[in-house]
Each structure stands twice: as structure tokens, then as C-alpha cells.
Structure 1
């Protein structure tokens, strides 16, 4: 059994705090999602398509599961050699403009050509320009994570920072503080990157995904399918509305570097 984290034990006492300040009409309320189940009113599971020719796996609802309070986004290789690999993605139904986006994640593998990501996104499929804010673990090197934005389809503000321990050896809390005039990325409460120019402006959905490529080799490495199913594991996801303060102990808002 997976040991229950401190956050999960404290959650019953914390939920009233999240509800204490009502959201304005039409504005999402702050939330913590601990994945005792997949809430169909909050999350949509991608199923039955790919995002384009760069992706060599198909999103599958069968690759998304919850076990012992952990969301597992599986990557399931096709061992028959037919190339019918299955991968996993969930996305929020709601869209969010600014605020603090957080997730506690780890990978359980090191595999070239696979991407494990926590990010925000809106794009042409939503009849909007492509805007995005990213944490992306390229699992050929789990000791680093790529940070990036897209603004109107153009990559901006990109960098790569170390992860210690590597994501296949331990959990990390990824936090994005998105304000009108800056975006800050934090890992385990420590500021690792900041952008103040050419920022996204559209409200976006929250995504968690685990996928592979045959063609983006310069970035993600030569695709080498794992010998067995592997996972991006997610303990919790949270969003805190702009102006609200520390809502739960592991939040960056409870002690972020200024």
C-alpha cells in the first residue's frame, strides 16, 4: 500500500479553508485534488486520438488509473511490434487565468523518447491561439526538467533545470505562479525560473500527460520503448486563485522564495 502523505491526512481540516472565500461569479474556486477517484466533473480523460504526427502513441482511457490515492498515467508499450503504444492524459474541464498551479509528481522509469508533463494549455482545438506553461520531464534524463511557455504558438522563456533526486527516485512538488506581469516556476518551494516578457494571456486548462515520439529525437531522444508498462504518478494537483494565501502545507504559497 502507498503510505498516505501528510497532505492527505490533513485534508478534512483543510477543505473548509478552501471553501471559506467564495469565488466570484463565473470564476473557478481554489481546489486540491487528491485522487481518491477520478472526478468526472473536474477531469476529462483523453481517449482515442493522438495530438499529431509527432506522437507515436494513442491516448487511451485504459491507461489512466487510480491506485491507493495515486493517479497513474501509464505508458503501455505494444510488445507485439505493431507499434500500437498506449499513452495517458487528463485535462481539467475548467479554464484558469492566473493563480498558482501545483502538482506532486514522480516517474517510475527512465526511458528515452518519452515525456512526462504537468502544464497548462489552450489552443486551436479550443478555437484559441496556442498558449502554454510547462513542466516537462524527458524521461531519458530524470535528473532534469524542461520549463517553457508558448505564446501564440511560439516557444518562449525556455530553460532546463536539475531535479535532485531524479524524478524516478523521489517525489517533487512542481509549482507555477502565473501573474499578469510574470510567471515563476518553483520546485519543492524553491524558485528555479522566472519570465517577465512575452507571456501567455489566455485562460488555460490544466493537463497531465505521458506520451512518446519517434520524430522529436533532438529534444526527447531516440525512442526506445520500455519493456513493460511505466507510469507518471501524481499524488495531488491544486490550483489557488490569485490573491489567496497558503491553503495546505505543501503549497508553495506557504513558504515560497520571493
Structure 2
């Protein structure tokens, strides 16, 4: 072992010399320690940690290799609301589309794949390239269907019926024979003489001969939704009813195959008709209608029907 001689001025006797030696050794250790602690530690860190210093070299960490597993990290991600419009312009209940992996969509729950047609209503007006807006007499010649009663804002289509029976309807082109249709809709408020309808209507416009498929129909304020299926050849109806809060967003869907007709609400099958003699004989197109059918009153109150998106899938 190498001994270090004490400085000359420190030789004041055995006790003093020993104490001085200890002081010198301590100072030397500190100097060595400070000289080797690395650029990542500051003097303030030394004080803050009470002398327990962790060296942090300023190097860039390499990507983990196959033999070096990355550290486990828990990350909380907050999904922002769609940037369709400033929050101040949104309605009281902000429209929100179902997440892409949400199994309350029949398309997700049943593996329909990607839509081949549809509308997310991300613009500022109804697309005339996709939709034909009704302009004329209302249902059974009652009231008026006016293009001005259909609007798009905040990523949502809104059909509005007023207190005079003036309302809206529209159809999606082109049509097709067989396929799957799914629509996200709510009816937040309204009068029972207004009937929101999501339907497939024959391109031939031959009714009742070529059938009708109302895969969601209700009166505003109803406690559920109907599936109304008209077999045109026999002019007979097959119907189903499902309790649901129509004021909230729900996903309504229909699957039309050569084997039959099926209906879904929020991914759950609610209607089946496998009688192939009931099938429509030709192509049909999607319609969205807010029909005025006066029964309770000649003067309805304002009624709205909101649609978040329409998606059409091939078989």
C-alpha cells in the first residue's frame, strides 16, 4: 500500500497529524469524485440529493435489440373530440361517431369489411353528388318536403320538420341489389306525428310491387324502433319491434342477401326473414325521411332527426 505524506505544515504531533491526514484524504476523494461524475450532474443536484449522485451521461439511447427488451411503459392517451367545429358552435349533445372498433356497429361485429359507399357528412351542406333531396308534396300528399329542411353542421346531417308540416327527405344514389347498409341516427326531440324513417326503396319506384324495407321507423317520442318489411309480390308486411331510447345515438343496419333479410340495432340482430319469396325483385336505394303523418294534431311542434353517418357494404 502506498502511503501519502502529509503536507509539512500539518506535522503537529500524532493526533493533529492523523486528523490532518483524514482531512486531506477526504478532500482528495471529493476532488476525484467531482472530476469523474460526468456532465449529466450539476452542483445543485449534489446538494438536492444529499451527496447521492446518479451519473447521467449525455448520450442517445440506442433502439432495443432482439435480446434487449424495451422497458414497460404505461401511457394514458386522451382522444380529442373531432375537430369539425369549435366547441362553442356544437349542439348541447355533441355528435360523436362510434369508434372504428366499436362492436355496436353491425359491420364490426359481423366482419363486413370496409364500406364501399356512404357519407360521413363532414362538409357544410348535403352533397348533391350523392343525394337527391326531395322537393314537393309530403308523405301521401300531406305537408311539404323542402330541400331547405336538410342541413349539415358539426359532422351531422339534420332533417327538421316545422309546425306547418314542412319537412325533408333524401335518397342516396346509386342503388344496388343485395348488400348491407348501416346508419347512425338519433331523434333528440319531436312530435309524434313526425316519423323518422331509414328505408330501402325500389329504384323502379313500383310500389308496392317491388317492395319496401324500413330498417328503422318510429314516431318521434316512441320508446322503440320498428323494422317493417314489405313483400311486394304478395303485398304483405313482416314487422319487428325493439325497445330503444331513440333520443340517443344508435346504429341501425340491414343485411339483404339472396337468402333473406336481417336487421340489426347496435350490432345485435333484431329481425330475420328467410322467406326468399319476400325478397325485393330488383335494386333499391337508401332513403332518409322525416315524414309528417298527421294524427294527433294538425299543428305539430318542431321535430329533428340527426344522422351521423351512412355506410354501405358489399356482400
- The TM-score range, normalised by the shorter chain, is 0.7 to 0.9
CA RMSD in angstroms, aligned pairs only: 2.5
TM-score normalised by the chain length of structure 2: 0.60
Superposition deviation, residue 139 in structure 1: 2.4
Question: Which residue of the partner structure matches residue 26 of structure 1?
Answer: none
Task: Tell me: CA distance 1:203–1:111, structure 2 relative to 1, closer, same or farther (3 Å).
Answer: same
Among 268, 281, 306, the alignment partner of 1:233 is: 306
Question: Which residue of the partner structure matches residue 197 of structure 2?
Answer: 117
Question: Which residue of the partner structure matches residue 76 of structure 1?
Answer: 162
Q: Distance in 1 between matches of 2:201 and 2:242?
A: 21
Superposition deviation, residue 44 in structure 1: 0.6
Give the structure with the larger helix fraction. Answer: 2
Superposition deviation, residue 140 in structure 1: 4.9
**Structure number with bigger Rg:** 2
Question: Which residue of the partner structure matches residue 265 of structure 2?
Answer: 187
Question: Which residue of the partner structure matches residue 145 of structure 2?
Answer: 59
Task: Tell me: CA distance 1:3–1:141, structure 2 relative to 1, closer, same or farther (3 Å).
Answer: closer
Superposition deviation, residue 143 in structure 1: 1.5
Task: Tell me: CA distance 1:99–1:41, structure 2 relative to 1, closer, same or farther (3 Å).
Answer: same
SS of alignment partner, residue 136 of structure 2: coil
Q: Distance in 2 between matches of 1:5 and 1:176?
A: 19
Of residues 128-137 and 106-115 in structure 1, the stretch that sits farther from structure 2 once superposed is 128-137
Question: Which residue of the partner structure matches residue 283 of structure 2?
Answer: 203
1:106 aligns with 2:179: no
Superposition deviation, residue 181 in structure 1: 1.2
Task: Tell me: CA distance 1:126–1:30, structure 2 relative to 1, closer, same or farther (3 Å).
Answer: farther
CA contact (8 A) 2:188 2:305 kept: yes
Q: Distance in 1 between matches of 2:139 and 2:222?
A: 24
CA contact (8 A) 2:207 2:232 kept: no
Question: Which residue of the partner structure matches residue 240 of structure 2?
Answer: 159
Among 46, 56, 62, the alignment partner of 2:134 is: 46
Of residues 151-160 and 97-106 in structure 1, the stretch that sits farther from structure 2 once superposed is 151-160
What is the number of equivalent residue pairs in this alignment?
A: 207
Gaps of 5+ in 2: 1-89, 101-112
Q: Distance in 2 between matches of 1:132 and 1:66?
A: 27
Question: Which residue of the partner structure matches residue 172 of structure 1?
Answer: 250
Q: Distance in 2 between matches of 1:225 and 1:101?
A: 34
Question: Which residue of the partner structure matches residue 139 of structure 1?
Answer: 219
Superposition deviation, residue 114 in structure 1: 1.6
Q: Distance in 2 between matches of 1:93 and 1:193?
A: 25
Superposition deviation, residue 206 in structure 1: 0.4
CA contact (8 A) 1:59 1:87 kept: yes
Higher relative contact order (CA 8 A, sep 6+): 1
Moved over 6 A (4+): none
Superposition deviation, residue 50 in structure 1: 2.7
